[in-house]
Amino acid sequence: MGRRRIHNLDLPPGMHERAGRFYYGRNDVALGPDFKSALRKYADLHGGVRPALARPTVSDVITAYQCEEIAKKAPKTQTEYTRQLAHLLRVFGAQPLDDLEPGDVANFMRKHPSPISATREKALLSAPFNFARSNGLTNAANPCAGIRGKKSRRDRYVEDEEFRAVYDKADRPLRDFMDLAYLTGQRPTDVLKMTRQDIRDGILRVRQRKTSARVPVAIVGPLAAVLQRVLAQTYPVQTMHLVLDETGSRMSLATMRRRFWSARKAAGITYQLRDIRAKAGSDVDSIRSAQKVLGHSNESTTTAYRRDRVGEVAQPVMRDIKSNR
């Protein structure tokens, strides 16, 4: 048996990383430069990664789940799931899958320093267990079922004055981004991938990366003026994307965040980049309009997403019971 691994605990057995590339085994079989392709090559080398064991451990199942399911997720989801699975492996990895009980999961959540993170990791632990059940690796009930966690709902509403304060400190690319993010109500990643080719027949056609929902946004009013301004900007060399830096190159989300943080600090404001989408959903006239622009399939999702605006006043019941005597 090899030495116990102390680094890269999230990687499957036998896989290791060196100089930004992934390898397998003592002979350093090259798996690829990124985790997604490495998982696929790892699965090919194993001829399928579902453990043919009498009593698979949690580690065996998480490894199989990583190789067969994580690689199908979006890059951002892969990164987050990989980080969370590393923690779950440290806690439950050596435990036989059939021996994992609801009490173990509840105890894990009680000891976790962050109740919100504990809830998310519990939900993720449930996925490999369901994967194991569906592939005949266990007949045990899911130990995560019925274990309640703590959910958080962000209720930050960005006031117009706060939005303008950051906008006034923003550079030209950040202003383009903030305008498009607010007027279309799209996620930051979807705003950054908007291109000139998405504009057809008076409609900005958005394909949301997270849900694959298609959101056609009518180019009217302030959005029409913003797009006219953006499309009129010229550079020596430029891509087809709408939000470009000073050289005409496409901007990454990390770069846009840094620019936003700088403008936010200069303005003395604390809201986050994602709050712009919630403000857009809250500022439209109706829940139905908000649902359309946000691209939600269910109205209940939109209801939970909309923020309560400061200054809104609840109306009293307009009926005098005593007058009916």
Angle between helices 102-111 and 115-134 (to 10 degrees): 150
Structure confidence at residue 210 as a pLDDT band (50, 70, 90): confident
CA-to-CA distance for 290 and 303, rounded, in angstroms? 9
Identify which of 176, 161, 192, 10 has the alpha carbon closest to the alpha carbon of residue 84: 10
276 token code pair:
């712009």
35 burial via Cβ count (<10 Å: 0-12, 13-18, 19+): buried
Question: At 178, which amino acid appears?
Answer: M
Residue-wise pLDDT for 67-102, tens only, equals 788 877 877 788 889 889 989 999 998 899 999 999
Q: What percent of the chain has pLDDT over 90?
A: 47
Helix (H) or strand (E) holding 167: helix 160-169
pLDDT score of 325 = 52
CB-based burial, 95-123: b 16+ in 10 Å, e otherwise: eebeebeeebbbebbeebeeeeebbbbbe
Reduced to 3 states (helix: H, G, I; strand: E, B; else coil), residue 277 is helix
Please give the distance of CA 220 from its chain centroid, rounded to a whole number.
30
Q: Decide yes or no: CATH 1.10.3720.10 for domain 160-305.
A: no
d(CA 74, CA 70): 9
**The whole model's pTM is what?**
0.65
Cβ atoms of 149 and 123 within 8 Å: the answer is yes
CB contact at 8 A, 219 and 204: yes
The better pLDDT of the pair 172, 13 is held by 172
Higher-confidence position of 51 and 287: 287
* CA dist 193 → 186, 204, 259 (Å): 11, 12, 17
Averaged pLDDT, 14-32? 76
Q: Cβ(30)–Cβ(60) under 8 Å?
A: no
Sheet of 199-200: strand order equals: 199-200, 203-207, 214-218
Share of the chain above pLDDT 70, in %: 85
User: Quick one: tokens of 186?
Assistant: 């799209």
Cα separation of 24 and 188, whole Å? Answer: 36
Residue type, 320: D
What is the rounded CA–CA span in Å between residue 135 and residue 131?
A: 6
CB 191 within 8 A of CB 273: no
Strands of the 21-24 sheet, one edge to the other:
15-18, 21-24, 29-32
- Range of 19-28, 246-255, 294-303 with top mean pLDDT: 246-255
Run of H or E including 18: strand 15-18
Task: Give how far Cα 40 sits from Cα of 17, 29, 67, 73, 135, Å.
Answer: 15, 13, 6, 13, 19
What is the rounded distance in angstroms from the CA atom of residue 100 to the CA atom of residue 60?
Answer: 13
- pLDDT value at residue 1: 41
Over residues 211-259, the pLDDT tens digits come to: 888 999 999 999 999 999 999 998 888 889 999 999 999 999 999 999 9
Structure confidence at residue 177 as a pLDDT band (50, 70, 90): very high
For residues 95 and 108, what is the distance between their CA atoms, to the nearest angstrom? Answer: 13
Length of the chain (residues):
325
In the chain, domain spans: 15-134, 160-305
